A = this chain, B = another copy of it.
Amino acid sequence: MPASGDSKFSVSGSINAVAQRAGVSIATVSRVMNGVSNKASPATVARVREAIAALDYRPTSAGRALRQKTSHLVAVLAANLANPAMAAIAASAETALRQKGLVMVLCDTHDRPDLQDEYLREMLAQQARAIVLLGAVDSPMLLKVQEGSTPLIFVNRRNPTGAESAFVGIDNRRAGEDVAHWAIAQGLRRIALFHAPTSSSATRERVSGIIAGFADAGAALSKDLVLSPVSGDHLTIGLEAARQLLAKGEQPDLVICTSDLIAFGAARAWRELRSGNPMPRMIGFDDSPMNEWLAPELSSIRIPYAGFGEAIVAALMEPKASLLTILPHKIIERGQKSA
């Protein structure tokens, strides 16, 4: 039994210093830290706590990770950090994870399968506690990872491999229908739809919801007002689509865009056109946090960013309880000529 004062020399591992100061073994220190309740008397716990505080000790994560075969890292692989909506979701996730003592590692896959795979590999090597895919894309490693034991959580876009996986997001199909019904209720008749590639389930569901919504109301969309230019980012898609539409001499009452970024791009096309065509009303999806400040004319389907963090954490903690978390969306109307 070491007397509580005999610290002739300190042994390696900072936990040793704590143990020495508290006059206990490192096993006890570890147990106190991890809240193993039935293995230490209140007095011992107090002594250890004091020592931890006094030495400002925090266990080195490598040692822990090595032993437990898992780290405190939670990987968030985002498809596009330049999208303020994704950044907002990431920020919310980070706060929620932090409260559980987890650390977010944020990566930008740029929607590229190869980069996503690279990150998946790396995060497996890091023994990430879980991997959150904020806009996943189909990729070879994704298949392998879901065979492993690392929890996978899909946010916004569903698992592109088709397997059933934890999902957090809004009901995109329903949101699409809501937009259609709203447009009809507003008396808007000539409707254009600009959308991203349908490889993303979110876009696919939104588009089908919109089309179905109009069809149900007997006001089917005109095919040649539905545009989906192949192009890199959403901003450019919007710009391109708008140019194509304008080139046809069309002037819709409402432009529906499957993301706010597409709407931003489209708006630019009308703005740059000095020929006096008025900008049509527009509605997007996501309601980027900046909209309130920068896009006063853009209506949007607001997704509850702030809620994503909690939902992700819940999906992580209760893998089975919440396989599917559908958050509520709502239409934010802006730019009415008269209210």
Contacts and interface: CB of A to CB of B under 8 A. Distances in A.
Contact of A58 (B82, B121, B289): B121
Contacts of A98: 118
B63 A124 contact: no
Nearest to A289: B82
Contact of A127 (B61, B81, B103, B264): B61
A91 B86 CA distance: 13
Interface string A125-166: 111000000000000000000000000000000000000000
Secondary structure call for the A interface: helix
A125 B60 CA distance: 5
A234 to B, nearest CB: 10
A62 B58 contact: no
Contacts of A82: 84, 87-88, 91, 289
A296 interface: yes
Contact of A66 (B63, B87, B268): B63
Contacts of A91: 81-82, 108
Contacts of A73: 105
Given A60-B127, A235-B293, A268-B296, 10 more contacts: A60-B125, A61-B65, A61-B126, A73-B105, A82-B289, A84-B87, A84-B290, A104-B107, A264-B293, A290-B290
